[in-house]
Amino acid sequence: MKNIGWDDPLPTKLQLAWEKLFGEIEDLTTVQFPRCLQHKDSVGLSELHVFADASILAYGAVAYVVWSRTNGIEVHLISAKARVSPLCQTTIPRLELMADLLASRLAKTVCDEFKIKPSEVILWSDSMIVLAWLRSESTSLQPSVGVRAAEIQATWESGTWEYVPTDLNPADDLSRGIPVTKVNERWMNGPSFLKVTHDSLLPSVFVTKASYPKAFLWQQKFLLSLLARCSGHTWTN
């Protein structure tokens, strides 16, 4: 792109990409977002499920409200947020943590602004590394990781977070992108497992410090090394 002037024709590859994008813009007329989030025959209280995901291109979160009805369970897309991933090189786990922080803030905003408060809030992530961070002491992590983890922990208990496989995570549509023709599928209606009873939901995956990448255990190793050096030092002349 650097060597292309304003009046120069685009390369064939870019022309085809633009034509495809323009065609999808026309398809947006088929996308409809229902305004009603609660039907008259809704039974009991609602649940809020927020999913997070990240890629090298983008990260974000999507929230769904789940209602029980007389004829089954209904899921509605209620809100979503997306961010472009930073240009500076970073790891996928860090991006996933940024997505989880966005999901945490989104869930809090929905709970604060939604007139009918959900009876339960569940946040979902497909990163076992990040889930391990959220189940640990934030002071044991690198500062950039620990600060974000601490904010999430201050807002939600660790038990609020659950693991979801990538292929079942609707936020994957956000981080990687999908054609407009697929918006009315999983993105609009949420993953299929939300439409079953709690007993049939995904089983909880217990994550521990064994899930940590070794690079993030730096503080413990540094302190142990420092203590070892200090213990062998003669403090008197």
Residue-by-residue pLDDT tens, the chain, 237 positions: 467 788 888 888 888 988 888 888 888 888 888 777 777 767 777 899 999 999 999 999 999 999 887 778 889 999 999 999 998 888 999 999 999 999 999 999 999 988 878 889 999 999 999 999 998 888 888 888 999 999 999 999 877 899 999 999 999 999 998 888 888 888 988 998 998 765 555 555 545 444 444 444 444 444 445 445 555 555 455
Q: What secondary structure does DSSP assign to the chain, as a single string?
A: -TT--TTSPPPHHHHHHHHHHHHHHHHGGG----S-SS-TTEEEEEEEEEEEEE-SSEEEEEEEEEEEETTEEEEEEEEEEEEEPPSS---HHHHHHHHHHHHHHHHHHHHHH-SS--SEEEEEES-HHHHHHHTS-GGGS-HHHHHHHHHHHHHS-GGGEEE--GGG-THHHHHH---GGGIIIIIHH--GGGGS-GGGSPPP----GGGS-GGGGHHHHHHHHHHHHHHTS----
Indicate the CATH number of 29-229 among 3.30.360.10, 3.40.50.300, 3.30.420.10, 1.10.3720.10: 3.30.420.10
